[in-house]
Amino acid sequence: DVKVTQSSRYLVKRTGEKVFLECVQDMDHENMFWYRQDPGLGLRLIYFSYDVKMKEKGDIPEGYSVSREKKERFSLILESASTNQTSMYLCASSPSGTSAKNIQYFGAGTRLSVL
């Protein structure tokens, strides 16, 4: 079974802190994604990566950056956390290419509260 593991289920941080959300997948997938999930808005894509050190902005990249130094690990970074970044963050991975057959596999999510 594909496993996507997010390092924390719950995080509480203060405004202005630098926050790292970590995600690891064990299926050698090329593509990895970060979404945020908010009530009434569904999932919105923040960033994705299609290879080591490669990244592309999603729909809502402002206030976020990412790092992919190894194939299995994709980190989301909040340089200076703000209260409007309080949300559920979901990581996903999928195999290479852009085929619709490449199903995305999701982690359990990290619920971040910024106070």
Partner 1 sequence: GNSVTQMEGPVTLSEEAFLTINCTYTATGYPSLFWYVQYPGEGLQLLLKATKADDKGSNKGFEATYRKETTSFHLEKGSVQVSDSAVYFCAHFLTGRRALTFGSGTRLQVQP
Interface positions with partner 1 (CB under 8 A): 4, 31, 33, 35, 40-45, 48, 50, 56, 58, 90, 92, 98-101, 103-109
Q: How far is the CB of 80 from partner 1 (least distance, A)?
A: 26
Q: How far is the CB of 17 from partner 1 (least distance, A)?
A: 25
Query: By C-beta, is 19 or 92 nearer to partner 1?
Result: 92
Q: Are 46 and 36 in contact (CB under 8 A)?
A: yes
Query: Sheet containing 65-70: which strands, arranged edge to edge?
Result: 4-6, 19-25, 73-78, 65-70
Say if strands 110-114 and 10-13 run parallel, antiparallel, or are unpaired: parallel
Query: By C-beta, is 85 or 94 nearer to partner 1?
Result: 94
Q: How far is the CB of 85 from partner 1 (least distance, A)?
A: 19
Could you give the CA distance from residue 74 to residue 34 in angstroms, rounded to a whole number? 8
